[in-house]
Chain A
Amino acid sequence: MTDTPPLSLNVPEPGCRPGDTPDFSDFVIPRAGAVDRPPVDVDPDDIRDMAFSIIRVLNKEAEAVGPWAEGLSQDDLLQGLRHMMLLRAFDARMLTAQRQGKTSFYMQHLGEEAVSCAFAMALEDGDMNFPTYRQAGLLIARDYPMQTMMNQIYSNAKDPLHGRQLPIMYSSKEHGFFSISGNLGTQFVQAVGWAMASAISGDTRIATGWIGDGSTAESDFHSAMVFASTYNAPVILNIVNNQWAISTFQGIARGGVGTFAARGHGFGIASVRVDGNDYLAVHAVAKWAAERARLGHGPTLIEHVTYRAGGHSTSDDPSAYRAADEVAAWPLGDPIDRLKRHLIRIGAWSEDRHVQAEAQIRDEVVAAQKAAEAHGTLGQGTAPSARDMFEGVFETMPPHLVRQRQEAGF
């Protein structure tokens, strides 16, 4: 026994820290088109290898190649580019608005635009997303008014959530976007319940759950997987692996072993990985998983491999924990740039048109921002009534809340 060396605790570390040279050389990227496209009724056991590869469509030359390259017209792709550019411009304006004190808080999607924008276009009206705080593309791509999003961010008099929620915690039943909660992971299992309800009701609608790499460590991730698997729920379970959970690299959430998608195997859930910066790949995989769910073949787990190019939030400074040029070294590039190059390659776009579009989109966002700011910004101008704070806790206000509202002077 005396020969036994002392044990030590393994605490994983990211490949590089501030001041280090970013190195993604151990990050294995299959070439575009290399991963097979199985039928939607495939037995999850038959595609186990897909949880360890990455479905990619756009190659280095910006060509769409392989079995997942199909189904999107030039118009669809141009629309997709526009959605991603819109989301990026929206983010930029709101980031600035936060810096100007017009709102308390904002979170960008920089580098992750393809994930939510492409995914949204694979769904049908009536399907329900259970997003995190970093999938606003699900709203943008389905034409939710930008000005309404800004009203929410500003907590102004036109805020559809009456100033009750932190900025970006949107809710729109009509647009298939479930109310965002600050508590991580909770919505992942709620999505499964919504999908179970659709199945119980003999409906054809499906649900999608969303979670980040860090939050897969939450218990609700496990709950969602076991319920989705047990009841064969028509749900798509999306893990957005952007490598970072605030300051914590994704290895802390999984011990550096396997992939996030591989976790689906233990539950018998069809599990795939997709290049999250490849609009065509995200869309194709979403479409496949949606069809699978809609036809009753069960849940799909999708790991979207991407990179959080911006800070975690306006309250975060990533230079304190990661190399500033890590984003430039990220091997899957930038989703807007990659789709733009593809569109140029197929003759549907040009650098000039891109520059024009950027300007036009910026003007649209600014116009929406002006319209929103006319209704007030946080603490400036008109605001939701304080009386409203007491409303909606219950459908009918119980006596104790009536008394408190009167006590508060409203």
Chain B
Amino acid sequence: MAQMTMIEALRDAHEVAMAADDRVVVYGEDVGYFGGVFRVTAGLQKKYGKSRCFDAPINEAGIVGTAIGMAAYGLRPVIEIQFADYVYPGMDQIVSEAARLRHRSAGDFTCPIVIRMPTGGGIFGGQTHSQSPEAFFTHSSGLKTVVPSNPRDAKGLLLAAIADPDPVIFLEPKRLYNGPFDGHHDRPVTSWKKHPLGEVPEGNEIVPLGKAAIRREGKDVTVLAYGTMVYVAEAAAAETGIDAEVIDLRTLLPIDLDTITASVQKTGRCVIVHEATKTSGFGAELSALVQENCFYHLEAPIIRVTGWDTPYPHAQEWDYFPGPVRVGAALKTVMES
């Protein structure tokens, strides 16, 4: 075990995968010599050479499109989109090509690629450095979508994603890169260096895709969250005194329905929390799944606490970001109804 930040854990996952398998290649904008704008790929080019880790032109469609070609050849590209907000030029390649290749060619060609991208807000990133576009991916059949919330999961899930035979969208909450964040922006931020989930196993230990983790056991209400919202939900539970069961979904697709339904059938109540905008967000899918699978156990309507249906603002960051006050209010509401 070593104590790591999420950035170090992600970097370590790259190291482990690149050392174990020559087919793993890493590229993206500023990923090579410089080591990435968030340092996730620092030192990889020096260690593995320019043909294994290199800088790419500023062209997301090109980065994804070439990775698909490389995967068809037999490599295992792990590519970076500098911010999730900038994935849209690559969406045709992701949705029409990467996601469909195995199915449309009946397995003749496959696409084992990992597309990493920093996601989420809470950093005064404004419109184009804060978005949470996960629902675009979960809506596309053929993609797996992963959102880690801590260094240990970040490493294990990334290793699982790299080993996965199908394309994986790997969303990294940049607000969590250096330490957990519970939405209390007015308090000092702690580092992963003192957090139990900052303890990261050595070597190639995966965290399986499609399995949620219960971060806080509780009996009153189930909170479905992922990424930064896991810590917001934990804070809201602590501050309201409501005995919430906080589930960190970790993988959005395939979803761990068993863990969700077991929890909601136990608590009878459900609050869904995400940073992304509300309408047609992933929370809508979660809400529908809970309703379909737990209807007769529900004692209150399912509540979603999400970003507003607006572009992500700059000055109004903390009025937009679903912090512990809003989540706490939802917990109280669901307990009172």
Interface residues in chain A, defined as those with a beta carbon under 8 Å from any beta carbon in chain B: 128, 130, 160-162, 164-165, 169, 171-173, 178-179, 181-183, 186, 189-201, 207, 219-220, 222-224, 226-227, 230, 392-395, 398-400
Residue of A nearest to B166 (CB): A394
Chain B residues with Cβ below 8 Å from A193 are 65-70, 72-73
Contact B142 A171 (CB under 8 A): no
Chain B residues whose C-beta falls within 8 Å of the C-beta of A171 in the assembled complex: 104-106, 108-109
Closest Cβ–Cβ distance, residue B73 to chain A (whole Å): 4
6 contacts between A and B (CB under 8 A): A178-B72, A183-B97, A220-B65, A220-B93, A227-B57, A393-B142
Closest 5 CB pairs of A and B: A193-B69, A193-B66, A189-B65, A223-B62, A398-B254
* A200 adjacent to B52 (CB under 8 Å): yes
- Which single member of A183, A194, A400 contacts B92 (CB below 8 Å)? A183
Q: Would A197 and B70 be within 8 Å (CB), given that A181-B100, A223-B65, A227-B59 are in contact?
A: yes
Find chain A residues with CB under 8 A from B196 CB: none
Inter-subunit contact B110/A190 (CB<8 Å): no
With A172-B108, A194-B72: A392-B102 Cβ-Cβ less than 8 Å: yes
- Evaluate whether A173 and B69 lie within 8 angstroms (CB atoms) in the complex, with A200-B25, A392-B102 already known: no
The answer to whether B103 touches A164, judged by C-beta atoms less than 8 angstroms apart, is yes
CB distance from A220 to the nearest CB of B (A): 6
The docked-state distance in angstroms from the alpha carbon of A198 to that of B166 is: 21
Using CB atoms and an 8 Å cutoff, list the residues of chain B in contact with chain A: 25, 51-52, 56-57, 59, 61-62, 65-70, 72-75, 89, 92-93, 96-97, 100-110, 141-142, 144, 165-166, 210, 253-255, 257
B104-A165 in contact (CB<8A): yes
Residues of A within 8 A of B103 (CB): 164, 392-393
CA distance A162 to B25 in the complex (A): 32
Residue of B nearest to A186 (CB): B97
B106 touches which one: A164, A222, A224 (CB < 8 A)? Answer: A164
Selected contact of A194 from candidates B56, B57, B73, CB within 8 Å: B73
A240 to B109, CA, bound (A): 25
For B56, list chain A residues within 8 Å (CB).
227
Whether A161 pairs with B70 at a CB distance below 8 angstroms is no
Minimum Cβ distance to chain A for residue B287 (Å): 16
| B141 touching A393, Cβ below 8 Å | yes
B56 to chain A, nearest CB (A): 8
Whole-angstrom CA separation of A395 from B25 in the bound complex: 22
The interface centre, meaning the residue of B72, B109, B142 with most chain A CB atoms within 10 A of its CB, is B72
A173 to B68, CA, bound (A): 14
Q: Is the CB of A161 within 8 A of B97?
A: no
Q: Are B61 and A219 in contact (CB under 8 A)?
A: yes
Known: A194-B73, A197-B73, A398-B254. A173 touches B100 (CB 8 A): no
Shortest Cβ gap from A182 to chain B (Å): 8
User: Which among A172, A189, A394 is the interface contact of B144 at CB below 8 angstroms?
Assistant: A394
On whether the beta carbons of B57 and A226 are closer than 8 Å, the reply is yes
CA distance A230 to B75 in the complex (A): 20
B41 to chain A, nearest CB (A): 16
> How far does the Cβ of B154 sit from chain A's closest Cβ, in whole Å?
22
Min Cβ gap A399→B in Å is 6
Chain B residue numbers with a CB within 8 Å of A222 are 59
With most chain A CB atoms within 10 A of its CB, the pick from B25, B93, B102, B103 is B103
Q: B74 to nearest A CB, angstroms?
A: 7
A207 to B65 Cα, complex, angstroms: 14
- Given A193-B69, A194-B69, also A164-B74 (CB < 8 A): no
Distance A171 CA – B108 CA, assembled complex (angstroms) = 7
Q: How far is the CB of B194 from chain A (nearest CB, A)?
A: 37
B68 touches A201 (CB 8 A): no
Chain B residues with CB under 8 Å of A178's CB are 72, 109
Across-interface contacts of B65 in A (CB, < 8 A): 186, 189-190, 192-193, 220, 223-224, 227
How close is B190's CB to chain A, nearest CB, in angstroms?
36
List 14 other contacts, CB 8 Å, given A181-B104, A189-B69, A392-B106.
A128-B73, A161-B104, A164-B103, A179-B105, A181-B96, A182-B96, A190-B97, A193-B65, A193-B73, A200-B70, A201-B73, A201-B75, A395-B110, A395-B165
CA distance A198 to B52 in the complex (A): 12
B165, B253, B254 — which one has the most chain A CB atoms within 10 A of its CB? B254
